[in-house]
Each structure stands twice: as C-alpha cells, then as structure tokens.
Chain A
C-alpha cells in the first residue's frame, strides 16, 4: 500500500502559506489559458451560430468566403428553381442573394473609424434566418436607402440609432430597424437592399457574392450539391451554412488557441519554478520524515509517488482557483476583427466544460514538472544521515 494520502494533505495544510506561491502562480496561468480558450471558443460559437442546418450557402466555385465570390442573378435563379429549395406560402423559392461591403464608421467608444460589415440582402433574408428577429422599428423597404442594424452594431458604432441617418457608399441611409441575431455574427452587421447597395458602390447590376437558400430539409443538401455539380450552367460550390461559418472560424480560433497555449506555456515555465521552489522546500523540511518512511520499509518509488501526488494536489487546487477566478468572464462580450471579412465582430467569451477540463489538465502538467525533481531528490537522499537530521 502507498504512503497514505492524508500525509500529503495534512502536510499541505501544515505549510499552507508557503504553498500559496505555487498555488497562485498556477492559478494565474490557468486563468489566462482558460480566458484565451474561452475567447476562441466564443468567437467560433458566434460564427457557427450564424449558420442554420436548414440553409445552404452557395458561392462561386473555388471561393472560400463571400469576399472572394461572385454569382450572377441567372445562376441564382437556376438554383432557386431546384426542388430542394423550400417555398413560401405563395410558392416562391426562399433564398437571399447577398452582397457584402465594408464601411468605415466611427466607434462609440473612441470615435475612431472601424470597419462595419454591411450586408445587402433580399426581402426573404428574415424568412430564411429564423434566429434573426426585429427588436425595434421595421425591415427596410426594397429599392430605398434604408438599413436595419444588428444589436451589437448599434452598441458599437456612433450614430447607429433608430431614426437617424448614417453615411457610407456615397449616400445617406436611414436606420429603420434594429435586429437581434441571437448572439451570432449577424448581430455585428447591418442589412440593406442588395440592389441598392450594389448601386451605391457602383457595382454591376445583378451580380451578387453569395446566395443563402432555405432547404426543404437539412438532408436535401447532398441532393442539391449533386444537382448543382452536374448542371453545366453552374460553376458554383454548395455548403451547409453551419459548415461554411465553421470554416470561417478556423483561422482565427486556431490563432487564438495557439497564442493561448504559447502564452500559458511561457507563464507556465514561471509557475513550474514556483512549484519547484515550494516542493523543494517541502522536501528539504521533511528529510527526516522521508528517511523514517524509507527506514520503515516504504520504497523510493512510493516516496516519489507520494511527493508527486502532493505536487499534483497543489497544482489541481491552483487550477481550480484559476478556473473559479476566470469563470465570471463567461458571457462577457468583446469585439475583434474578423480576419475573413476585415470587419469588427462582437462575440461572448464561452467557458465550456471542455475548456475547464483543459485548464485543469494544464495545471496538472505544471504540477507534474514542478514535483518530479523534488520527489526524486526526496527518494534518493541517503537514509542513514537523514534519519539523524543531517
């Protein structure tokens, strides 16, 4: 049987003040790591929430984002006629042909310009995106320079108030409504008539960047893909809207995750030294106890295990503390540049159970490295002199 765990637990209690250094340094590292991972997770969650399993997004063949895609009205109509596209009560296909532009508008917080994403949509945009609801005002009137703004865009940009005019694309636009997109990336956008937006930016008529279509059922996606790929008139790619937004999130979430582990790794080295210091102190103050255990018959490996456990307990407590400290960040809304569209996007930090587990596992890794060498020293010290406190 191993050296009883109670020995380690009570030893930690007995020298708790000296344990605090290791505990807090590990807590700090874990808190930073969880914050970074929660940022990446929140960003991804926001983008993925923009997609619906019922919708397909159609881009030019080979295009990876709306920004590099173009679709002619003719192609959009051909796809709209496909029986896999859902119809409204009047039998019209439910889709939105869309264009996206970036406008530089002043931030409320600093007054400096930042990029806002303006999406030109069709009248059916609300019908196909059932998570988007009008909070205030009304939807824009087709053919007019009217705009509806997302709730985060309203909070972020100066002059984004219902009833006011904003100026971009060489003309004034009346804000006629505010919508809530359920925490998705659309909350950071503003929507207007796609044709009016094309005119304002002097883009060719009947040329759009993407088409978002409501499917009769999520399972119809594959059939639509097959039909589109065999139609010689079409050179487009079809994706599930969720898959599309997931792909859009990959680059930045990977970057944040890598950065998170890099920062936590560098900080972790410092924390390991804190843990090493604590554990070396623990070992050197207990040489006589360790030697006694060894004399009684406990093996060196049992001593190593015992001190490793002690280090892991301290690290786990530090990790738990770090997780508790950073937990309130869950749901905190921040904004960053979406590198796919170069526009501001608001998102909420998402501290998920997975992230908490990763944080705690990271703390255990720190505890392992912080405890290993002191534990080895504890087990390797000659017994006879240590018994006499030498």
Chain B
C-alpha cells in the first residue's frame, strides 16, 4: 500500500520534491512538490507523456541527480543531501539499473558485464563467479555467459542487463523503458521476468514506461502530468 499513513514503513519515501532546471534566465520546473511512498516488494510503474518528469523522478530515486529541494528517504537514509561521491557508493549498494537500450559494454562478454557491479564489492573471484552464474541462471541465460552483446538478441541483451542489475542484490531495481526497444514477444518475456523477480524474489521494481501493457503488469501505477504526480491506479493519493 502506498499512502501517507504507512509512510514510516515505506522503503522509499519521497517528501516535497522539487526539481528545477535553469535554461539561461528561465527556470524550468520539472517536478513540483512530489510526494510518494513505495514499499518493499512493490512493482511500481510511472506513466505520463514526454516531458512530464518521469525520467527525472527516476534519476532522483536512483541517485543520478539531486533534487532542488525536498527529501528522498530510501531505507531510512536521505539521499537528497548526499555528495556526488557518497551517491556513487550508495548507488553501487542500493540500485540496480535497467535501461531501454540495455547499456551493456559491447567489448565484454555477458559474464563480464554481469560481473561489473561485483568488482566494486569485496567478493573473491570465485564468489563473484558464483553470483554471476546465479544471476544469469535466474534470467535464463546460463548458457550464454561467454557471448558478447552483439551475439545476443535484443531480449537476451535486456536479460543480461537485468542479471547485471540483480547480481548485487540491490535494495530496488530502476527500469527506464525496459521494453521500449523490444518487439512484443520479447517485451512480454522481460515483463514476465520482472514480475517473477517481484513475486518470487521479493524485489522492489520501479519502472518508467510509455507502454500501457507494460504498466498493467505493475501492482501500482503513478501518472505524472507536467511535473505533478497524479493519483495512483488504485485511486489513492500518492
């Protein structure tokens, strides 16, 4: 459930977030007084037209950008005031990113791509191998470990990206249009996989999408309109 009564239990609590950009002398308000609570194990979709602030909100939640004002509590920790250096370390521990264009490193194999986030941990080589193999097994690509991205289909590439996102067992996954570059069949497979991660592995997934079919897979849907978060799909105030 995502309402203010349960804010204290929320994994992610966004309080009065504003985000402005400066273009010359003009100030552009991208997000206006956004409040939001998300609980552990939720599958949340953010929808809205282009320029509504979905991606900006996702970037703020992922620690890729900082708000102009307001607070973002994640697992009790306010990331809004963190320095860039602290945010970098925080991201490596708490966020698994999944991008529309997969963003795999083309010169590295599937195994090496998935291993990348683990290089920032203290795990030994053999432990890293075990984690990578487990992540690739979850996404059904255990037999493609030594393949390069160019040797994989779009759907397979996105599954490698999901394995990379889950391999460190982050606090939550951030998906930016994860099916935007895929055909319907592959898109469904990716959405099935994300749903399974939520249902079977208790992952928290936040997804920005334009695709209503994708959004329908989420338990909770938010609509953004000109930087303002509208009521969610359950008719509750965010």
Contacts and interface: CB of A to CB of B under 8 A. Distances in A.
Contacts of B33: none
A296 B105 contact: no
Classify chain B: how many residues form its interface, as a range.
20 to 34
A388 B120 CA distance: 23
B119 interface: yes
B108 A10 contact: yes
B107 A297 contact: no
B103 A299 contact: no
Given A295-B62, A384-B65, A7 B103 contact: no
Nearest to B89: A297
A300 B65 CA distance: 15
Contacts, number: 75
Interface centre among B55, B62, B105, B116 (most CB of A within 10 A): B105
A143 interface: no
Interface residues of A, number: 27
Interface stretch (B2-10, B91-99, B213-221): B91-99
B100 to A, nearest CB: 8
Contacts of B55: 384, 388
A295 to B, nearest CB: 5
B112 interface: yes
A389 B101 contact: yes
B52 interface: no
Contacts of B107: 6-7, 10-11, 13-14
A297 B88 contact: yes
Nearest to B92: A297
A4 interface: yes
Given A6-B112, A288-B103, A296 B64 contact: no
Interface of A: 1-4, 6-7, 10-11, 13-14, 288-289, 291-300, 383-384, 387-389
16 contacts: A1-B119, A6-B108, A6-B112, A14-B106, A288-B101, A289-B103, A295-B64, A295-B91, A295-B95, A296-B92, A297-B91, A297-B93, A298-B120, A299-B88, A383-B64, A387-B64
